[in-house]
Amino acid sequence: MTTGLVETANGPRPGGVSQVALYPVATLVQKFGGTAVGDPDRIRAVADHVARTVRQGNQVVLVVSAMGKETDSLLRLADDVSSTHPGREMDMLITAGERKAMALMCMALHDLGIPADSFTGSQAGFLTDTEHRNAKILEVRPERVRAALDAGRIPVVGGSQGVSTDNDVTFLGRGGSDTTAVALAHALDADACELYTDVTGVFTTDPRVVPTAKRMDRISFDELLEMTATGCPKPAMRSVEYARTHGVRLHVRSAFTWQEGTWVDEEEPDMEQAIVSAVTYDTSEAKMTISGVPDQPGIAARVFRELAGSGINVDMIVQNVSTEGVTDISFTVPHDDLDRAMSTAGSLATEIGAGGVTSDSAIARVSVVGAGMRTNPGVAATMFETLAECGVNIQMISTSAIRVSCVVSGDRAEDAVKALHENFGLSCN
């Protein structure tokens, strides 16, 4: 961060003496989520906040999502019109949401005397691969954004979009605006990337489920990555990965209260780590079981190679003890992929002489995350005891160095989250 002499927003004092104060001058990328720009009043409120930040001498680049739930509405509209959804046309449709929001935001800024220019992902220099609806960023060439900044204008960039190597408009996937913001912060060497949302930061668990959940002042990239991989919707997991890889400091905060939120950065080695920092849950996956699988080398490899070949992202995997030369293999897949996964696994089961394939959509994965787990034993035991005390049966278990996850029945997920949050001492008093 650089420091400079900046005139305060109050301007010259009465008596003609200019009030000059020492302010830290920062380059900030500020991203506003759907709720934060959900209606005309919200857009004006964001413009006002940006105007204040700029008048304090900071350089600001804005990234906006589509207003409110507009992305969902556009997806529904596509369903209503047609059952064929060519990727190219879907991306052209979905990115219209962000295009609307960025143009309106510029108008609101102009009203406040702040010159601003909107940029599509393509204009902002986001070059992506050709995988429509879920394109990956290959390169960011932010020349036009930088030029606007240098000219004293506020660049307002449409989130989650780019242009492919085939010159088509691409969408970076759901939640992709967070990734746009982080990638821009890296490309512009910004001091921080601020992600504004409808809660005041990252909480010890979903505040909608546990109202006594606490906002964290800071969290490490590793912990937040585990949280987002296991159900915490904010910020989008890809953006946290990008930020960790490139060392972009994140600040997750509220667009409604403007108070200091949660800072995300590297773990400080000398800091004592919380054993458990957060509890997460995820109801987006289903469980599949292939039963009576011949217990021979190469069979699991074949099953998961076929599933991967159908583009299915398999998650937790458990193989039972073999009896009489056969075993059961269970794993989780995203709900959206369940039908495809069932048909792939069904044909394979016949080929390899397995007993059959079953699925259960009503499951949830509850997880506890904490960097201090690396050095403190007993977290898994406490988790299992807590679930046992509330009569929640564990169907599958998986762990990483800083996480323990259990698959439980979906209708018990909230009870499990509440009990774990309480037993690990995370609630506010």
Q: Applying CB under 6 A, which residues contact ligand ADP?
A: 33-35, 65, 197-199, 202-203, 205-208, 232-234, 278
CA distance 422 to 400: 22
Select 33 or 370, whichever has its Cβ closest to ligand ADP. Answer: 33
Task: State the binding partner of 207 from Mg ion, ligand ASP, ligand ADP, none, CB within 5 to 8 A by kind.
Answer: ligand ADP
Distance in Å, CB of 182 to ligand ADP, minimum: 13
Select 33 or 155, whichever has its Cβ closest to Mg ion. Answer: 33
Select 174 or 218, whichever has its Cβ closest to ligand ASP. Answer: 174
Select 37 or 51, whichever has its Cβ closest to ligand ADP. Answer: 37
Select 177 or 327, whichever has its Cβ closest to Mg ion. Answer: 177
Among 58, 160, 289, 386, binds ligand ASP (CB under 6 A): 160
Judged by CB under 6 A, the chain residues 232 through 251 that form the site for ligand ASP are none
Give yes or no for residue 66 binding ligand ASP (CB under 6 A): yes
59: which residues sit within 8 A by CB, 6+ positions away?
25, 26, 27, 28, 149
Distance in Å, CB of 80 to ligand ASP, minimum: 18
Select 250 or 357, whichever has its Cβ closest to ligand ADP. Answer: 250
Give yes or no for residue 386 binding ligand ASP (CB under 6 A): no
Judged by CB under 5 A, the chain residues 29 through 58 that form the site for Mg ion are 35
Distance in Å, CB of 73 to Mg ion, minimum: 14
Task: State the binding partner of 176 from Mg ion, ligand ADP, ligand ASP, none, CB within 5 to 8 A by kind.
Answer: ligand ASP
Select 65 or 330, whichever has its Cβ closest to ligand ASP. Answer: 65
Q: Which residue is nearest to ligand ADP (CB)?
A: 33
Structure tokens at 240: 């946290």
Give yes or no for residue 370 binding ligand ASP (CB under 6 A): no
Contact 333, 324 (CB under 8 A): no
Among 44, 100, 174, 340, binds ligand ASP (CB under 6 A): 174
Distance in Å, CB of 207 to ligand ADP, minimum: 6
Give yes or no for residue 159 binding ligand ASP (CB under 6 A): yes
Which residues of this protein are in contact with ligand ASP, per CB under 6 A? Answer: 34, 65-66, 71, 97, 159-160, 174-178
Which residues of this protein are in contact with Mg ion, per CB under 5 A? Answer: 35
